[in-house]
A and B are shown apart, each in its own frame.
Chain A
Amino acid sequence: MSFLVLVPTKRVPDTDGVIRVAPDGLDVDTSHLSYLINPFDAIAVEEALRLRERRDDVEVVAVGIGGEAYEDELRTALAMGADRAIRVDAPEPLDPWNVAEILAELSRRLEPRLVLMGKQAVDDDSAQAGQFLAARLGWPQATFASQIDDSDDGATVARETDHGIETIAVTWPAVITVDLRLNEPRYASLPGIMAARSKAIQEIPLAELGIEIQRRVELVELEQVSSERAGQRLETVDELLDHLKENTDLF
């Protein structure tokens, strides 16, 4: 049996895009935004491909959870080199709990040895789905990985923590969430994306997984944080520190 690596990828607005709250105050204005694979998830895809280069039995399956638009990002994952892709057709946005429930059910069916995903998505910045999933499956977890050394039984993972690099060992099957320093993802060009069209994207309706969405996080309001730079010229260090105390979380 092959060593299946499941890589959940989220579709998020371009990190260079200007995020503006929509008039209804319940969403961001997406009209001018372009989308991409959550950068941390792209690192996960890259790491799965490197794992495949190291071991000969690896199959990399990219997973997207959302509407048809998700297929663009799944194509990118395929263009990078993922073997196949699955799109679970689900309404968006989903909170981390529901994402984890869907991934857990997929994992029970596909029996991956490893679920590799970004440590967080750069839209909601929750950083929860990976841990929820590991808990739901009862699998070991290694979050914020900056290095992964795999063996037949499991992996040694270096984790980026606030207080230094922590090294832990996990056994397969496991959930690993990845941090920035793990690798530099490869560039997916149009020819790669075109070539990836021959690879299948399997669509799974939510109902087929027997999952009902149970909302855990309800968004009641979005508020714009002023992106205008204050642009204040200050005269003294005292003034500067006062402003920093008032306007940052650091003191």
Chain B
Amino acid sequence: MPTETLTREIFRNIGSGPKATFYGLAVLAGLVAVTTAWRRIRRWRSGRTSETRYPLGQRVRALLSRVLSQATLAKTRPAASRAPRCRCGGFAVLTLGTILIAVEHVAAMLAGRAADDPVFHKGLYYAIYEPVMELAGLAVLVGTGWFLLRRRRADSSVGHRTSDWLVLAGLLFLGGSGFLVEGLRIIEANSPGRWVSFVGAAVAGGLEAVGVTRTSAVLMHQCTWWLHAVVALGLLAAVPSTRLWHALAGGVLLSNHPPRTLGTLTTVTIEEVEATGTYGVSQLDHLAVRQLVSLEACVSCGRCQDECPAHAAGKPLSPRDVVQDLAGQLPGMGSEDAPVLAGDVVSDETLWSCTACSACVEVCPLGVDPLELIIDMRRHLVGSGSVRGSSATTLQKLGRSGNPWGLPAEERMDWTEGLQVPTVDDQPDFDVLYWVGCAAAYDRRSRNTARAMVQLLQAAGVRFAVLGERERCTGESARRMGEEFVFAELAAHNVKELSRHDVTRIVTHCPHCLNSLKHDYPDAGGHYEVVHHSEFLAELVSDGRLQVDDSSGKRITYHDPCYLARVNGIVDAPRDVLTAVGAELDELPRHGCRTACCGGGGGRMWLDDGPDDRVGRDRLEEITTAGAETVVVSCPFCRTMFGDGLAAADSPTNVVDLAELLINSLEETS
């Protein structure tokens, strides 16, 4: 059969009266949807305006690539990514198809064509259009069914509202009834080329097999058509008031391009605080537009909660609940008696539970950033004077002494005892600055890392120098505890010192220092090439500048620090070093970018915590279960957390830094 004759009549078998009713209902549903949506969008606009504006074209490109690929999910949960990918893709296609139908219909009416004489809805176009729509319909059905199954299993992290069930049931019904309507239409119209609508044709075949005839199909088609239409219009009207809204909010969120980099935070200056009179977030309108949108984009899927180390440790924190609790305040936004977000809506204890490990940010398919919300609210807690106890002490010590323990700056070089470590004054023509960090400077266990590091640098003939007594804490902890101004002061000091010595390249063994120098310092005027010691050492080994004995054969396991692996993507370099020394690596269940937190980040290192609910206990168990003789770390925080934890558990596993491991395999060269 020639394809030119392929088409189908729109509104076939629907009389003009019912058609008018349908138009009326459609306009009504559209109005409801648009007004509700408009109210919601207006609410977004009361947030702080975004710092960056993205051109529309860029937005659309970002949206298409990120939504259709579901890149985040595909990376973090490949299996789980299929359901939303099906639903999302299917929906997009169906929506587009429906719009095309409407265009055809209006065009035909304007042209005064007969019902069976479409403008473009025919021929080759139709032959492609129909199967695509069929596939999309199937995709939605499968995706929704899959999701319903997950909801029915009631994974603890999945949020449930009655309206969620209704929406899902509606979607399922829409898919099913759509194919039924199609099947009945095919029987009723008895038009040639039914194979183009292959699902519909199959349904029609089935119906005919059970005795549906062309005559009986007329009424059945009209009834199911109406059911389908009413449910469709109902869902359309309900889009802005149900979870379906996330498609729009999420779309807006995902169209931000480029997405925010993990490990970055928004800077607040004291001038801004003076101008606005607020610091941090205590009310919804202190949030950026982007953040307000994100509250509505969240579908409560709970993936963030599943990944959250604080939640796993029994802390009151669930990133999903934080987002949902804030979203729950949206209806009362801007009212006089709106509760204080930080403290009343989300408790202090919840906010202080976060280790800033960034797993929740990484895993969110819609680009919601619970960490940013938490730190914004911590900022309010810091600014409003509700910080006490050991966190207050640490912040005070950071501000006054430039290190978290309040130890004198004169002791910063004590770790070099017996070594010749050049300072920037001793060796002004250094190639790379070695950033020692507070832990290695003061903590006697971490000192071994720095001592190993400088011996390795010297063995490789690297011209390096350290800042010495003028180095201060980067302020990373302070910043993630919400104390932007102690951070700013420390950063200003360090940037000044680094600039004075024209530092351009920095190597550090601390991922927190690394992240801060790399992502926090540009805002403070410091722009450096920052490399982690694992990268630097791996390079020295591969260049042959370090001669390594590769016969260690030690069974070891390696823990990826959050701020090295997840946040800054450095996972191969440390493994290259492990391979170089011939270690047998037993990977932990969670490794690489999907690592699990030790519990020391986000300022939690400085909080008074009972041992039973300390974040990172599950990670400790993974390490002890792995049973390796040695767990290699590449972060002083992880080293301390695991060192303490393993010793308390009387575990035979010992903790060493990568540099210490390497130096033991260094071949003596004359």
Contacts and interface: CB of A to CB of B under 8 A. Distances in A.
Contact of A187 (B387, B400, B401): B387
A187 B382 contact: yes
B400 A16 contact: yes
A34 B396 CA distance: 11
Interface stretch (B151-159, B368-376, B405-413): B405-413
Interface string B475-487: 0000000010110
Contacts of A80: 385
Contacts of B387: 186-187, 189
Interface in A168-223: 184-192, 194-195
B388 A191 contact: no
A57 B490 CA distance: 40
B400 A36 contact: yes
Contacts of B389: 184
A14 B397 CA distance: 9
A96 interface: no
Nearest to B407: A16
Interface residues of B, number: 27
A189 B408 contact: no
Interface string B77-100: 000000000000000000000000
B483 A189 contact: yes
A15 B396 CA distance: 11
Contacts of A186: 385-388, 392
A185 B385 CA distance: 9
- Interface size, A (range): 20 to 34
Contacts of A190: 270, 273, 485-486
Interface string B553-576: 000000000000000000000000
Contact of B401 (A14, A81, A185, A188): A14
B395 interface: yes
B385 A18 contact: no
A79 interface: yes
Contacts of B485: 189-191
Contacts of B384: 192
Contacts of B396: 36, 187
A187 B403 CA distance: 17
Say what secondary structure dominates the interface of chain A.
loop
Interface string A3-23: 000000000001111100000
A163 B669 CA distance: 67
A191 B401 contact: no
Nearest to A16: B406
Interface in B271-296: 273-274, 277, 279
A35 to B, nearest CB: 9
A15 B408 CA distance: 11
A186 B382 CA distance: 9
A184 B388 contact: yes
Given A16-B408, A18-B408, A18-B410, A81 B392 contact: no
B205 interface: no
Nearest to A14: B400
A22 to B, nearest CB: 17
Q: Which residue among A17, A18, A36, A187 has the maximum number of chain B CB atoms within 10 Å of its CB?
A: A187
Nearest to A34: B400
Contacts of A185: 388, 392
B316 interface: no
B383 interface: yes
Contacts of A191: 270, 273, 279, 383, 485
Nearest to B406: A16
A187 B388 contact: yes
Say what secondary structure dominates the interface of chain B.
helix
Q: Which residue among A17, A79, A191, A194 has the maximum number of chain B CB atoms within 10 Å of its CB?
A: A191
Nearest to A46: B388
B385 A188 contact: yes
A249 B401 CA distance: 31
Contacts of A187: 382, 385, 387-388, 391-392, 395-396
B273 A194 contact: yes
A169 B258 CA distance: 66
Interface in B398-430: 400-401, 406-408, 410
Contacts of B274: 194
A16 B405 CA distance: 9
A171 to B, nearest CB: 31
B148 to A, nearest CB: 48
B383 A192 contact: yes
A189 B397 contact: no
Contacts of A192: 383-385
Contacts of A194: 270, 273-274
Nearest to B411: A18
Nearest to B392: A187
A28 to B, nearest CB: 15
B485 to A, nearest CB: 4
Nearest to A184: B388
B430 to A, nearest CB: 27
B381 to A, nearest CB: 9
B414 to A, nearest CB: 13
B273 to A, nearest CB: 5
Contacts of B397: 16
A15 B400 CA distance: 10
Contacts of B400: 14, 16, 34, 36
Contacts of A36: 396, 400
Contacts of A14: 400-401, 406
B399 to A, nearest CB: 9
B488 to A, nearest CB: 8
B392 A184 contact: yes
Contacts of B273: 190-191, 194
Contacts of B401: 14, 16
Nearest to A183: B388
Contacts of B383: 189, 191-192
A14 B401 CA distance: 9
Interface in A25-55: 34, 36
Contacts of B392: 184-187
Contact of B385 (A15, A17, A34, A189): A189
A184 B395 CA distance: 14
Nearest to B397: A16
A188 B388 CA distance: 10
Contacts of B382: 187, 189
Contacts of B407: 16
Contacts of B270: 190-191, 194
A14 B277 CA distance: 30
Contacts of B386: 186
B438 to A, nearest CB: 14
B82 to A, nearest CB: 47
Interface string A58-74: 00000000000000000
A184 B486 CA distance: 20
Interface string B221-233: 0000000000000
A195 B385 CA distance: 12
Contacts of B395: 187, 189
Interface string B179-212: 0000000000000000000000000000000000
Given A187-B382, A191-B279, 17 more contacts: A14-B406, A16-B397, A16-B401, A16-B407, A16-B408, A18-B408, A36-B400, A184-B388, A185-B392, A186-B388, A187-B385, A189-B382, A189-B383, A189-B387, A190-B270, A190-B273, A191-B273
25 contacts: A14-B400, A14-B401, A15-B406, A16-B401, A17-B408, A18-B408, A18-B410, A185-B392, A186-B386, A186-B387, A186-B392, A187-B385, A187-B387, A187-B396, A189-B382, A189-B395, A189-B483, A190-B270, A190-B485, A191-B270, A191-B273, A191-B485, A192-B385, A194-B273, A195-B277
Interface of B: 270, 273-274, 277, 279, 382-389, 391-392, 395-397, 400-401, 406-408, 410, 483, 485-486
Q: Across the A-B interface, give the 10 residue pairs with the lowest CB-CB distance, nearest first.
A: A16-B406, A190-B485, A187-B392, A187-B387, A191-B279, A186-B385, A184-B388, A191-B383, A191-B273, A34-B400
